Amino acid sequence: MAKIVECIPNFSEGRNAETLQALVAVAQSVPGAALLDWSADASHNRSVFTLAGAPEAVAEAAFQLCKLAAELIDLRTHTGEHPRMGATDVIPFVPIREMDMKECIALAETLAERVSGELAIPVFLYESAARNTQRQNLSTVRKGQFEGMAKKMLSPDWAPDFGEAAPHPSAGVTAIGARMPLIAFNINLDTDNIEVANAIAKSIRGSSGGYKHCKAMGVTLAERNIVQVSMNMVNFEGTPLYRVFEAVRFEAARWGVRILGSEIVGLTPVKALADSAAYYLQLEDFEYGAQVLEQRF
Amino acid sequence: MAKIVECIPNFSEGRNAETLQALVAVAQSVPGAALLDWSADASHNRSVFTLAGAPEAVAEAAFQLCKLAAELIDLRTHTGEHPRMGATDVIPFVPIREMDMKECIALAETLAERVSGELAIPVFLYESAARNTQRQNLSTVRKGQFEGMAKKMLSPDWAPDFGEAAPHPSAGVTAIGARMPLIAFNINLDTDNIEVANAIAKSIRGSSGGYKHCKAMGVTLAERNIVQVSMNMVNFEGTPLYRVFEAVRFEAARWGVRILGSEIVGLTPVKALADSAAYYLQLEDFEYGAQVLEQRF
């Protein structure tokens, strides 16, 4: 079966159509790497590209995008609502098929070496690729943003993992990393009481003592007159979908509230669904790699 | 995303190691077609090969196997417990990825034309490829077996779909068809009472008024001192796994019996699991083709 990696580079450009089209053209130019999706946000002045395919091809496309972004985007004149420190701000690699996290970390390191060496852009490794716990969290790494990076990088704590301890004059600094796929999973409740959704969200999210790999908050769906527990599942193997679904069910029961349904927004790896099926169908000794037909290619 | 078809040719040879090895070698000789599995049964004097891959490659491998089987297997001297009518007895095509049943039927027809034209072996189309309802059921088609075929084919009802109305002298007749993937799905009960398993099996199987695409029988697992509802799910889209699982649960409740667990024996298409996850997680508006990441390649 062919290896597939996903890569989601974020660029500090969400307004200039010409620049965006040039990035799209490069993203589509490497055989073996597919551009699955891209979107730009004018108020954030930022764009997000989703590439996937063969690891070497995807890494090559990411490098070419980085190179073009350094030519076309100048952080010295960049304004927008979203925090940023580089023309190419972040590049996460995500294992999808026949890949483990270690291979994604190796891809991130190889790309970091090339970006710093060939483009003179210093790189921080973040999330699973981070070399110390301080650099795991992207917002900690990016704190100070482009304008504060020159000073920040002089501190021994913030020497980059690759490249010189000074930002590229116009292209700044790039964070390159590896992480698990993120699943946007929302559960709808048969109540319009946002306090119920907030209380359930608090009970299940890792940051307030719940499941480690779940981020959650309550959200009102005004058009349906209901509330929702809106989640980002940042590691579906560590915290499976069925587990938070059942936890939301028993927490909601405290208020006599039922689950109406759930939704996955955007993409999910199919294994996240298969793992939940295995729970509910009480499958004994099921071996995903050996028994799922599609895994055999 | 690349199309994948599965093909499971059955040969009337389960004893002669030399013949079996020659068939294996041919099955592995076509680029783009993988031999996932093969097994031979001496008392049945029959072997089953599982091929999968690109449709044209798999069809080519199936043809080459047919050709070799016609050279090496002589039905006039064949004995075994399993009913059979040809050296290559049956060849079903199964849609796995980016394939629909129509495309599998077209593959079956093209192969049937080649087998009858180039090898002078007449072909019946069966299951979803059958051109009348009488030929859907393989056991009806094969009734009379090799020895009775010459007479059977003279009846206007049993003229072959491709080729002359007379069996090949030594290689007989081959049935070529298309069907959905079959999932061997068993549910274990916390009782040793086979009558409970038999009664539940009867209540859920299509042939006795249950779910159309489910075959089921009760089985004793002596080593665990329990019984099992053993099922063949012959169309997981028509009758999903979760539906028979929940039906077994509520039927078993009549006797105060619980489900201990379930098992899938051998391979399953991953969509069968994803469909069941979508049920249990109450997913709203989930689009498998658009939202499953792996489907995007």
pLDDT of residue B211: 97
| Residue B294 to residue A36, Cβ atoms within 8 A | no
Q: Which residues are paired to A73 by β-bridges?
A: none
pLDDT of residue A281: 98
| Residue B268 to residue A293, Cβ atoms within 8 A | yes
Q: How do residues B76-89 score in pLDDT, each as one tens digit?
A: 999 998 999 999 99
Which residues does A130 contact at the CB level (< 8 Å), separation at least 6?
Answer: A136, A177
Q: Quick one: average pLDDT of A15-19?
A: 97
pLDDT of residue B98: 87
Q: Quick one: average pLDDT of B108-119?
A: 98
Q: Which residue of A has its CA nearest to B284?
A: A263
pLDDT of residue A293: 87
| Residue B281 to residue A285, Cβ atoms within 8 A | no
Q: Which residue of A has its CA nearest to B50?
A: A293
Q: What's the CA gap between A150 and A167, in Å, rounded?
A: 6
Task: Indicate the average pLDDT of chain B.
Answer: 96
pLDDT of residue B113: 98
| Residue A292 to residue B270, Cβ atoms within 8 A | yes
Q: Quick one: average pLDDT of B46-71?
A: 97
**Which residues on B lie below 8 Å from A188 (Cβ)?**
284
Q: How confident is the model at residue B260 (pLDDT cuts 50, 70, 90)?
A: very high
Rounded to the nearest angstrom, the minimum Cα separation between B88 and chain A is: 24
Q: Quick one: average pLDDT of A16-42?
A: 96
How many A/B residue pairs have CB atoms within 8 Å?
Answer: 137
| Residue A291 to residue B285, Cβ atoms within 8 A | no
Whether the per-residue pLDDT at A1 is higher than 70: the answer is: no
Percent of chain B with pLDDT over 90: 93
pTM over 0.90? The answer is no
Q: How do residues B266-290 score in pLDDT, each as one tens digit?
A: 889 999 999 999 999 999 999 998 8
For chain A, how long is the longest CA-to-CA vector? Answer: 60
Whether the per-residue pLDDT at A259 is higher than 70: the answer is: yes
Q: Quick one: average pLDDT of B193-219?
A: 96
What ipTM was estimated for this complex? Answer: 0.79
Whether the per-residue pLDDT at A202 is higher than 80: the answer is: yes
Which of B258, B267, B273, B297 is the mutation pick for testing A, counting most A CBs within 10 A?
B273
**Which residues on B lie below 8 Å from A38 (Cβ)?**
none
B36, B241, B294: residue with CB nearest A281: B241
Residue for token pair 């509910």: A280
Whether the per-residue pLDDT at B1 is higher than 70: the answer is: no
Q: How do residues A19-28 score in pLDDT, each as one tens digit?
A: 999 999 999 9
Q: How confident is the model at residue B121 (pLDDT cuts 50, 70, 90)?
A: very high
Q: How do residues A104-139 score in pLDDT, each as one tens digit?
A: 999 999 999 999 999 999 999 999 999 999 999 898
Beta strand residue intervals within chain B, DSSP E: 4-7, 10-11, 33-41, 46-53, 88-97, 123-127, 174-178, 183-189, 214-221, 226-233, 259-265
More reliable by pLDDT, B295 or A271: A271
Task: Indicate the average pLDDT of chain A.
Answer: 96
Percent of chain A with pLDDT over 90: 93
**Which residues on A lie below 8 Å from B245 (Cβ)?**
280-281
**In Å, what is the CA distance from B162 to each residue of B64, B67, B71, B118, B145?**
18, 16, 20, 12, 18
pLDDT of residue A252: 98
Q: How do residues A208-240 score in pLDDT, each as one tens digit?
A: 999 999 999 999 999 999 999 999 999 999 999
pLDDT of residue A98: 87
Q: Which residue, among B81, B114, B83, B108, has the nearest Cα to B94 in the 3D structure? A: B108
Strand ranges across the sheet with B183-189 = B214-221, B226-233, B183-189, B259-265
